[in-house]
Amino acid sequence: MGDNSKTWFFLFRILILLAAIFSLQSQKWVNLLLSIFVFVIVMLPSIGSKKFIYEYPGILESFILIFIYLSIFLPEIISLNSWWVDQVLRFVLSIIVVLIGFFLIFIINREKHAIMSMAPSFMALFSFSFALGMGLLWELAKFLLDIYFGTALETISVRVLMWDLIVYTAGAFMASTLGYIHIKFFEDSFVKRILLRFISKNRKLFASLASPADYVEELVKQGESEEIEFKSSIRTNMYTNQHDRRIEHSLLKTIVAFLNSNGGTLLIGISDAGEILGLNADNFKNDDKARLHLTTLIKNHIGNDFAFLIKSEIITISEKNIMKIECKKSIKKVFLKMNGDEEFYIRSGPSSVQLRGSKLIDYVSFRFKRR
């Protein structure tokens, strides 16, 4: 994660912990349970295995944090009947849970490689049903805690409970309907952009949900981006069918750019248009020779000090071998050494851009400042 992500990572968890303390002091047991639950969920990446999600969408965390603090302090700040305050918070909660529902169904749709793309109407229905299910489970949990532990979380009548559920359902219906409209009629969906960024930040998690071939096919579907790039070959010019140092230079500068930015995935044997070409054009005797050639290029032009950040793998798709190169974010600046010169590259959108002069100095000072 970048510096801003790290700051938010720790700040969010501290604020959730403080919310739990405030809830305990004011004996707001529902908020205490919610704060503890959220704190445990967001701490799983730090204390669990690498299979857990490492970086959550910041906007989702922000919504959850705002809701928890509003539920703690809003009744004390404004002089409204507590029942109306509860309804407002319940309405907001339903919207948050619907967002989580869209988040889940989008991941399932993309990472399980459904034969047919899920319709926006189905995604909205799933999110709406998910929100209703979570709402009912929450009310049931409070009821059971009251019975077996005497917590007095729920002291309202059945009539009031039904109104609570109606308000919650109305919020869920509104949010799921707006979500449907957003995904259906806006191709560059704000929701999709958030989820795609989440997926790109947690590739290992999603790679474990599918076979290597399925995972690569999913990356190809996403197309080239700041953290994904395609190359047709390792060393062969596809127009002349001859080995070309410029092709190797292009490959290496992409790797360096990934290392100097936020990491990324380089797929070799894939055309710019996403066509699976394979590695046959490079005429390596076998897969080991192809990987050895890449290792030699990295050693000679980037340096062994950064080799541990670069992992390559040969994957077969449609009976064609392609090479997947995963590059992690480096904490030290990386230069490409070619013909006695040192070149510095970063990612800018789907391209690798060389920095020189003052731009290089400014970027290095900002990106690699001492921690």
- Would the pLDDT of 121 be above 80? yes
pLDDT digits (tens, 9 = 90+) for 143-165: 787 787 766 666 666 777 788 88
User: Which has the higher per-residue pLDDT, 11 or 94?
Assistant: 94
pLDDT given at position 140: 82
User: Which has the higher per-residue pLDDT, 226 or 20?
Assistant: 226
Any bridge partners for residue 311, and if so which?
A: 326
Mean model confidence pLDDT for the chain: 79
Out of 116-130, 220-234, 286-300, least confident range? 116-130
Is residue 314 within 8 Å of residue 323, measured between CB atoms? Answer: yes
Out of 64-68, 257-261, 287-291, least confident range? 64-68
CA separation for the pair 239, 231 (Å, rounded): 14
Tell which residue, 21, 48, 54, 53, has the closest CA to residue 35.
21
Residue 314 CA: distances (Å) to CA of 13, 25, 278, 291, 294: 39, 57, 10, 8, 12
- Would the pLDDT of 308 be above 60? yes
CA separation for the pair 268, 104 (Å, rounded): 31
Residue 99: band (very low, low, confident or very high) from pLDDT cuts 50, 70, 90:
confident
- Look up residue 134 and give its two tokens: 């979570």
* Residue listed under structure tokens 């127009």: 239
Instruction: Give the highest mean pLDDT range of 10-14, 15-19, 127-131, 135-139.
Output: 127-131
Residue 216: band (very low, low, confident or very high) from pLDDT cuts 50, 70, 90:
confident
pLDDT given at position 250: 95
Q: How many CA atoms lie within 13 A of 126 on its CB side?
A: 17
List CB contacts of 322: < 8 A, sequence separation 6 or more: 216, 267, 268, 269, 270, 276, 277, 278, 279, 314, 315, 316
pLDDT given at position 18: 83
Out of 41-50, 119-128, 280-289, least confident range? 41-50
- Would the pLDDT of 141 be above 70? yes
Can you say whether residue 150 is alpha, beta or left, with left for phi > 0 and alpha for psi between -120 and 50 degrees? left
Instruction: Give the highest mean pLDDT range of 37-41, 123-127, 210-214, 350-354.
Output: 350-354
Residue 194 CA: distances (Å) to CA of 56, 77, 208, 290: 10, 33, 21, 36
Average pLDDT over residues 111-118: 43
User: Which has the higher per-residue pLDDT, 269 or 45?
Assistant: 269
pLDDT given at position 160: 76
- Would the pLDDT of 334 be above 80? yes
- Look up residue 13 and give its two tokens: 């968890």
Domains of the chain: 3-200 (no CATH), 224-367 (3.30.950.30)
CA separation for the pair 16, 146 (Å, rounded): 24
The alpha carbons of the chain give a radius of gyration, in whole angstroms, of 25
Average pLDDT over residues 39-65: 55
Query: Taking the mean position of all CA atoms in its chain, how far away is CA 333?
Result: 25
What does the buried/exposed string (b/e) look like for 333-349 if buried means 16 or more CB atoms within 10 Å of the residue's CB? ebbbeeeeeebbbbbee
